[in-house]
Amino acid sequence: MQVRRCTVVFVEPRERLDFDLGRLVAGGTGVAPVREWIALAAHLDEEILLEDDEVRVLGQLSPGNWTDFEALAASLDKAVLGRLIEKGLLIRDTEDSVDLCRQDDEVRRGYWRGLSAALHRHTRWHAIDTLEAERKFGNETDRPFLERLGSPEPPVCERVEADKRIALTRPSDTALEDLIRGRVTCRNWDASKPLTAEDFSATLFRTFAARAVSDEPGIEVIKRAVPSAGGLHPTEAYLLVQNVEGVMPGLYHYHPIDHALEPLGDVAPEESAELALRIVAGQRHFMNAHVVIALASRFRRTFWKYRNHAKAYRAVILDAGHLSQTLYLAATERGLAAFITAAVNERDIEEIFGLDPMLEGVLAVTGFGWRGELVDEVEFDPLGSVWPNGGGMKKVQEE
Ligand X SMILES: Cc1cc2nc3c(=O)[nH]c(=O)nc-3n(C[C@H](O)[C@H](O)[C@H](O)COP(=O)(O)O)c2cc1C
Q: Which stretch binds ligand X (CB under 6 A): 36-44, 56-64, 146-154, 334-342?
A: 334-342
Q: Which stretch binds ligand X (CB under 6 A): 160-168, 171-179, 292-300, 335-343?
A: 335-343
Q: What contacts 365, CB < 8 A, 6 or more positions away? A: 279, 280, 286, 292, 293, 294, 295, 340, 341, 344, 349
Residue 326 binds ligand X (CB under 6 A): no
Using the rule CB under 6 A, which residue among 343, 359, 375, 383 binds ligand X? Answer: 343
- How far apart are alpha carbons 44 and 86 in whole angstroms? 13
Between residue 63 and residue 82, which ones bind ligand X under the rule CB under 6 A? none
Q: Which stretch binds ligand X (CB under 6 A): 48-56, 225-233, 308-316, 340-348?
A: 340-348
Q: What contacts 396, CB < 8 A, 6 or more positions away? A: none
Q: In what order do the strands lie in the sheet with 9-19?
A: 9-19, 31-41, 48-50
What pairs with residue 360 in β-bridges?
298
Cβ(388)–Cβ(398) below 8 Å: no
Using the rule CB under 6 A, which residue among 118, 340, 352, 363 binds ligand X? Answer: 340
- Nearest Cα neighbor of 182 from 54, 329, 297 is 329
Cβ 58 to ligand X shortest distance, Å: 35
Alpha helix (H) residue ranges in the chain: 21-25, 52-58, 69-73, 78-86, 98-108, 114-121, 130-140, 145-149, 175-182, 197-208, 269-279, 284-287, 299-303, 312-333, 346-353
- Nearest Cα neighbor of 188 from 384, 379, 390 is 379
Q: Which stretch binds ligand X (CB under 6 A): 131-139, 155-163, 199-207, 341-349?
A: 341-349
Give the total of residues touching ligand X (CB under 6 A).
8
Q: From residue 264 to residue 303, what is the string marking binding to ligand X with x (rule CB under 6 A)? A: -------------------x--------------------
Nearer to ligand X, 106 or 381 (CB): 381
Between residue 174 and residue 233, which ones bind ligand X under the rule CB under 6 A? 184-185
Cβ(10)–Cβ(66) below 8 Å: no
Cβ(355)–Cβ(368) below 8 Å: no
Cβ 308 to ligand X shortest distance, Å: 26
Cβ 295 to ligand X shortest distance, Å: 11
Cβ 383 to ligand X shortest distance, Å: 9
Q: What contacts 1, CB < 8 A, 6 or more positions away? A: 68, 69, 92, 93, 94
Cβ 277 to ligand X shortest distance, Å: 13
Nearer to ligand X, 48 or 323 (CB): 323
Cβ 112 to ligand X shortest distance, Å: 22
Nearer to ligand X, 10 or 125 (CB): 125
Q: What contacts 280, CB < 8 A, 6 or more positions away? A: 286, 287, 292, 341, 343, 344, 345, 365
Cβ 283 to ligand X shortest distance, Å: 6
Q: What contacts 132, CB < 8 A, 6 or more positions away? A: 282
Cβ 380 to ligand X shortest distance, Å: 4
Cβ(332)–Cβ(185) below 8 Å: no
Nearer to ligand X, 283 or 302 (CB): 283
Nearer to ligand X, 53 or 377 (CB): 377
Cβ 343 to ligand X shortest distance, Å: 3
Using the rule CB under 6 A, which residue among 243, 302, 341, 345 binds ligand X? Answer: 341
- How far apart are alpha carbons 98 and 48 in whole angstroms? 20
Cβ 200 to ligand X shortest distance, Å: 22
Nearer to ligand X, 243 or 345 (CB): 345
Using the rule CB under 6 A, which residue among 55, 179, 225, 342 binds ligand X? Answer: 342
Residue 380 binds ligand X (CB under 6 A): yes
Phi-psi region for residue 285, left (φ > 0), alpha (ψ -120 to 50) or beta? Answer: alpha
- How far apart are alpha carbons 380 and 190 in whole angstroms? 18
Nearer to ligand X, 66 or 380 (CB): 380
Nearer to ligand X, 294 or 340 (CB): 340
The contact set with ligand X (CB under 6 A) reads 184-185, 283, 340-343, 380
